[in-house]
Amino acid sequence: MFYFCQFIMATTLTRRIILASCTALLFFGGHTPSIANPTGKDPSQPLKTHGTIEGAEALANELHQTYLEELDVVTRMFETRNDPASFSDRQISKSAARLWKARRDAKHLELMSEPIGADLTRKLFLLAVQIDQFGLSYSRTPRGSQMMTTLIIRLRTDSPRFQKFLSQAASSLQKSSDPEVFTKQMEAKGMQMRESLVFFRPLEHKKYLFNFEALLTAGDVNHKKLRRTRYLAQANDKIKNEVASAAAATEEMKRICQELDQTGSATLDGNVKGDGTQAFAQVCKLWVRASANLTRANAIEWMVTNQTGNTKTNDITRLKKATLIAMTDIINSLAEKTATDQIPLIYTNLLRQISQVDRRTTGRKQVSEACTDALNELAKKNPALAKDIDAYTQATAEPLKWRNRFANEQAGYLSSQQASAEVLLNSKAPIDTSNRPNFARRRGGETLMVSKALNEPADWMIGETAKRLVGQSIKEDRLIRLGPNSRTGIIPFTNGHYANIALNLSPEKEIADLKVALLIDDEHHALSMAGMDAISSAEMQDYVSIGGTIQQVHLEALLTRFIAFPSAAMPLVLLGGLPQETTNLAPLEQTCWRLDIVPQWAHHRYFTVHSGDSKPQERKTAQTSK
Amino acid sequence: MHRVPPSGGPIPYASASSIMVVLSFTLVLFLASGCSKEEINQALETAKSKTKSMTNSAVEAVEDTLPESGEVTLNLKPNPIAISNAELALMTIGDGRPNVVQITTYDPDASARSYPALLLHGITATSKASSLAGEKVPCDVYFQENESSPIAMTQPREAMTVTFRQYNPTDKALTATLGMISLRGSDGSVIEIEGGDVLAVIRTETN
């Protein structure tokens, strides 16, 4: 503990990175069943489960443990592969049986639509291949030959009993008995047979298995059908619940609007009465919450349909429409009921909220455009305000134009040495496989920097990708801060990845300078949408782009990311949209890479800021020349 | 009544020098062609008369054009430049915040910007443009020499002092001198301005 404290106090940067990571973990890890996904630092972590189907998490954890134990066995045996006489026949038998069962369980996890199932299938297969090799090698040693003679005698002796078992199994299959019981009994027998058959050539297996495999396959077909129906029902229940929650949010928006219109206030979260601006904030919250509901429902649909086409697009559009109507209704109510002298305060409060939510929507100006007429009507109720808005807009238009152009050019200059995320992630680089288990190392060629498919064991993929990406310079677009007090910004999911940005920048002096240009002080707020967007995005640290260094890489499964999707992580998906697939691969196979980036600079719409900038000082003027 | 800036400036100097050129050229022409003394005297009178008329028309031209456009001399290091347009807007918001003084060398409403382009933007308690004379206003500076050159602007916490000198009520023009300032370029360069002069025509005054 003491060392940990010393460590975190080492540097401000380190503290911020840790804080940001913890915040991110809190937001993204809070609702997910497993602890963490594999990272460059800890590649051996299993892929998270989304846990849509009951029992998936426990099964995944158990299988991951089996994998780790068997990986250790195989790695050790591979070291002495040239001396098969040193192998333990008991160990080979035990591993062969465990791996046979584990591979079947991994397939079960796949049926539960858990990406870790597919990952474990790949990993366990590789181990099983090695164990089979070791079994055959051992059988050819003098000790192994003796053992084979004993084994053959035993298999022949047991054959009548085994055939009786098979006959009972066939009858049970015909009677459509409980598939659970059938599978359990067949698996127990299968493991027993595997303990012996691992020492035989595959062609010889049939001789001792008779119709075991055919019966098992037939039983699996039945069982799979039953499980699939059960799992689909569970998944559909969850979809229904999510869609119902989203619909309830829409209804809640309508109720808030009605109550506000009738009474001038509305009952909000926690049974507290709120005014119009608070009602507006509540509608924004409900939009986020309902969008998260639909994002989850949409992703569960991916597992149901086994493709990543978005089926909830219409629901998302309807939700957006309902939200925009609620927003304009609230502004209209406010225009009707607010005392003239209170209108300026209400007006600027709404401008700030609208600018904030605008930056979190797909179209960027959809909310402000939808609210423009209602806002104009509100302003007209106070003629002096309407006049002030025009004058303010005119007085601040030119500095905003210049600052925007300056920031764009400066960002272009700053980013000239940095590859965009799209270019970097789609580039090719030599692969270093030296961290793979000894039985899987190969000469590395050039491969894509990140793979869109989970096509190799996740721990190898993350290790090899992190080796190439950590420390690389990268430019990302559209940073959205998780919340006003959060130290983490998000690059929304795009091109198969998203990013967590540790907000270590200090834009205080740029904000102070912008406030002077925008005539803003403690008593005077921005009166134009452009002005308010400028200052609210600056204070929120929502940036157009950032450039920085990749600090860590995480490998997530796309499906899990968006099923186990907390509402707080909503900036990952812009409001009014859904995550877009990047390949035609099955949902189970698609990756979602997460990059943790420490920024060196950020491009705000009206300034750029570099890491390590000092705190603001008094605005000073140079001496006049004349 | 002063119709031109009291301190003189590039446009009056330019007009005077062109008049001198015309006068000298007329004399040389007559001398070269071997004229008599009387003829020369007559020619001189004619030239003087022409010169007077040209001087008047030049002043009139200055009177016509100056209030239309204004001018900025920017002592950029190493090469000063002149921009033949400058308009001043004094904008009052009306909700108690400071007023804005804005000097532009381009038409803010035009779709294409003219170059070199300069914007001076500062705040003042003064609410009438005519009362700016004698005021020192810290201004943000935004400058771009041509379309492809880097944009330059004042750094945060810094501002150029614009000292307003004289107000000309007839032309509704203000003269001002510019302070020294070091600007940052969008390409990371530093642009030094060692002062300058402004003759700005008051275009907008909102109250």
| pLDDT at residue A279, rounded to an integer | 98
Cβ–Cβ below 8 Å for B91 and A409:
no
Confidence of residue B207 (pLDDT cuts 50, 70, 90): low
> For the segment A85-131, what is each residue's pLDDT rounded down to a tens digit?
999 999 999 999 999 999 999 999 999 999 999 999 999 999 999 99
More confident residue, A413 or A167: A167
* Cα radius of gyration (chain A): 31
DSSP state of A40: S
Domain end marker among B50, B67, B84: B67
Interface predicted TM-score of the whole assembly (ipTM), two decimals? 0.82
Query: If you measure CA to CA, which chain A residue comes closest to B156?
Result: A513
More confident residue, A27 or A348: A348
Write the DSSP string, A540-577. Answer: HT-EEEEEEEEEEEEEEEHHHHHHS--GGGGGGS-BT-
Domain residue limits at A262: 239-381
Tell me: do A281 and A174 sit in the same domain.
no
Pick the residue of A348, A389, A406 with the most B CBs within 10 A to test the interface with B by mutation.
Answer: A406
More confident residue, B141 or B10: B141
Query: If you measure CA to CA, which chain A residue comes closest to B91?
Result: A395
How many Å lie between the alpha carbon of B139 and the closest alpha carbon of chain A? 9
Give A-chain residues touching B178 at CB under 8 angstroms: 624-625
Give A-chain residues touching B97 at CB under 8 angstroms: 519, 521, 523-524
Q: Does B179 touch chain A (CB under 8 A)?
A: yes
**Does some domain include residue A156?**
yes
List of residues 6+ apart from B140 with CB closer than 8 A: A399, A516, A517, B119, B120, B121, B122, B153, B154, B159, B160
**Does some domain include residue B47?**
yes
Phi, psi (degrees; rounded to nearest 5) at A608: -120, 155
Q: Is the pLDDT of residue B19 over 60?
A: no
**Does some domain include residue A15?**
yes
Tell me: do A490 and A568 sit in the same domain.
yes
Tell me: do B77 and B56 sit in the same domain.
no
The mean pLDDT of A576-600, rounded to a whole number, is: 93
Query: If you measure CA to CA, which chain B residue comes closest to A621?
Result: B159
Side chain identity, residue A161: R
Tell me: do A457 and A343 sit in the same domain.
no
**Does some domain include residue A565?**
yes
Count CA within 13 A, CB hemisphere, residue A443. Answer: 0
| pLDDT at residue B116, rounded to an integer | 96
Tell me: do B92 and B189 sit in the same domain.
yes
Confidence of residue A344 (pLDDT cuts 50, 70, 90): very high
Tell me: do A302 and A353 sit in the same domain.
yes
Tell me: do A574 and A434 sit in the same domain.
yes
Which of A62-71, A607-616, B31-40, B161-170 has the lowest average pLDDT? B31-40
Give B-chain residues touching A344 at CB under 8 angstroms: 95
Cβ–Cβ below 8 Å for B75 and A623:
no
> For the segment A289-315, what is each residue's pLDDT rounded down to a tens digit?
999 999 999 999 999 999 989 999 999
Cβ–Cβ below 8 Å for A521 and B97:
yes
pTM score: 0.85
How many Å lie between the alpha carbon of A335 and the closest alpha carbon of chain B? 20
Q: Does B150 touch chain A (CB under 8 A)?
A: yes
Tell me: do B58 and B117 sit in the same domain.
no
How many Å lie between the alpha carbon of B45 and the closest alpha carbon of chain A? 43
Tell me: do B55 and B97 sit in the same domain.
no
Share of chain A above pLDDT 90, in %: 87
Query: Residue for token digits 């796949």?
Result: A110
Q: Does A619 touch chain B (CB under 8 A)?
A: yes
Q: Does B161 touch chain A (CB under 8 A)?
A: yes
Tell me: do B21 and B119 sit in the same domain.
no
Query: If you measure CA to CA, which chain A residue comes closest to B177?
Result: A626
| pLDDT at residue A204, rounded to an integer | 94
Confidence of residue A582 (pLDDT cuts 50, 70, 90): confident
**Does some domain include residue B188?**
yes
Confidence of residue B17 (pLDDT cuts 50, 70, 90): very low
Tell me the pLDDT of chain A averaged across its residues: 91
Confidence of residue A581 (pLDDT cuts 50, 70, 90): confident
> For the segment B33-76, what is each residue's pLDDT rounded down to a tens digit?
334 444 434 433 443 343 334 434 444 444 444 446 899 999 99
Cβ–Cβ below 8 Å for B119 and A394:
no
**Does some domain include residue B4?**
no
Number of domains in chain B: 2
**Does some domain include residue B170?**
yes
Number of domains in chain A: 3
The mean pLDDT of A464-475, rounded to a whole number, is: 96
Write the DSSP string, chain B. Answer: --SS-TT--HHHHHHHHHHHHHHHHHHHHHHHTT--HHHHHHHHHHHHHHHHHHHHHHHHHHHHHHHHH-EEEEEESSS-EEES--EEEEE--SSSSPEEEEEESS-TTSSS--SSEEEEEEEES---GGGGTT-EEEEEEEEESSTTSPPEEPPTTEEEEEEEEEEETTTTEEEEEEEEEEEEETTS-EEEEEEEEEEEEEEEEE-
Tell me: do A508 and A402 sit in the same domain.
yes
Which of A188-197, A348-357, A571-580, A614-623 has the lowest average pLDDT? A614-623
Pick the residue of B91, B100, B160, B184 with the most A CBs within 10 A to test the interface with A by mutation.
Answer: B100
**Does some domain include residue A595?**
yes
Which range has highest mean pLDDT (A36-50, A223-237, A425-439, B48-62)? A223-237
**Does some domain include residue B94?**
yes
How many Å lie between the alpha carbon of A497 and the closest alpha carbon of chain B? 31
List of residues 6+ apart from A115 with CB closer than 8 A: A47, A454, A557, A558, A559, A560, A588, A589
Instruction: Report the residue from B98, B153, B204 with minimal CB separation from A519.
Output: B98
Tell me: do A410 and A497 sit in the same domain.
yes
**Does some domain include residue A233?**
no
A354 vs A531: CA distance, rounded Å: 12
**Does some domain include residue A545?**
yes
Tell me: do B95 and B139 sit in the same domain.
yes
Tell me: do A323 and A467 sit in the same domain.
no
Tell me: do A369 and A400 sit in the same domain.
no
More confident residue, A80 or A416: A80
Tell me: do A191 and A244 sit in the same domain.
no
Give A-chain residues touching B119 at CB under 8 angstroms: 398-399, 402
Count CA within 13 A, CB hemisphere, residue A374. Answer: 23
Domain residue limits at B77: 71-206
Which of A14-28, A261-275, A286-300 has the lowest average pLDDT? A14-28
How many Å lie between the alpha carbon of A391 and the closest alpha carbon of chain B? 5
Tell me: do B97 and B17 sit in the same domain.
no
Tell me: do B131 and B55 sit in the same domain.
no
Tell me: do A12 and A72 sit in the same domain.
no
**Does some domain include residue A196?**
yes
**Does some domain include residue B113?**
yes
Query: If you measure CA to CA, which chain A residue comes closest to B108?
Result: A398
Cβ–Cβ below 8 Å for B177 and A626:
yes
The mean pLDDT of A182-194, rounded to a whole number, is: 97
List of residues 6+ apart from A99 with CB closer than 8 A: A66, A70, A124, A127, A128, A131
**Does some domain include residue A224?**
no
How many Å lie between the alpha carbon of A345 and the closest alpha carbon of chain B? 12
Cβ–Cβ below 8 Å for A625 and B119:
no
Q: Is the pLDDT of residue B2 over 70?
A: no
Q: Does B97 touch chain A (CB under 8 A)?
A: yes
Cβ–Cβ below 8 Å for A519 and B136:
no
| pLDDT at residue B203, rounded to an integer | 87
| pLDDT at residue A36, rounded to an integer | 73
The mean pLDDT of A379-397, rounded to a whole number, is: 97
Cβ–Cβ below 8 Å for B97 and A510:
no
| pLDDT at residue B111, rounded to an integer | 86
Tell me: do B48 and B93 sit in the same domain.
no
Query: If you measure CA to CA, which chain A residue comes closest to B90?
Result: A395
| pLDDT at residue A174, rounded to an integer | 92
Share of chain B above pLDDT 70, in %: 66
Tell me: do B193 and B103 sit in the same domain.
yes
Beta bridge partners of B140: B121
**Does some domain include residue B2?**
no
Q: Does B113 touch chain A (CB under 8 A)?
A: no
Cβ–Cβ below 8 Å for B157 and A618:
yes
Tell me: do A454 and A333 sit in the same domain.
no
Confidence of residue A226 (pLDDT cuts 50, 70, 90): very high
